[in-house]
Copies of this chain bind each other. A is one copy, B any other.
């Protein structure tokens, strides 16, 4: 069962499982069944068991899954290092909201550098972190060994920033602009766009 044959849809769900398992642990739960996990995530129990089966056998028949053990296994499977370093491009409203977001640390991510083009921001501190010029990006990213970049700049400047990011050797990008990124091979990006979801909601409320 090589990783490459694992359904993409399965991989996307793994972090959902981790999230729910963390919640259960915070409630001092020790064991959970696929059915309960499914209910709390809006999935089916079969789907969860099948997903897990691609990677091995983690449950105990008749009892369920040891919550801590399963989480540990998923962490190993996903290879999420505990020190995933991020850098942030763009220190506006959204950038600052991200800086204030506590979910990163909980999940083993931390924003280690922030960049902007605005001379009024460069050198200043945001949420305790110094803002660098984008011109320093390459050097800072290499020095701090950062692997993932977040783009939170205005749509218009995304091309320019993308070029800098790629030159810095970054291979993984989380994109908050509305633009679809044109990427060279070997670089992976995911986009976050909630207005798409709003339109979807609007569509369904209209057609139902």
Contacts and interface: CB of A to CB of B under 8 A. Distances in A.
A117 interface: no
Contacts of A29: none
Interface string A167-178: 000011110101
Q: Interface residues of A: mostly helix, strand, loop or mixed?
A: helix
Interface residues of A, number: 56
A173 B198 CA distance: 9
A19 B202 contact: no
Contacts of A176: 194
A60 interface: no
Nearest to A197: B190
A195 B109 contact: yes
Contacts of A97: 93-94, 96-97
A172 B78 CA distance: 33
A142 interface: no
A81 interface: yes
Given A78-B203, A94-B97, A97-B96, A107 B198 contact: yes
Interface in A160-189: 171-174, 176, 178, 180, 182, 188
Given A107-B195, A195-B109, A3 B207 contact: yes
B195 A15 contact: yes
A202 B40 CA distance: 25
Contacts of A81: 202, 206
A7 interface: no
Interface in A74-96: 78-81, 84, 86, 92-94, 96
Interface stretch (A44-52, A64-72, A98-106, A130-138): A98-106
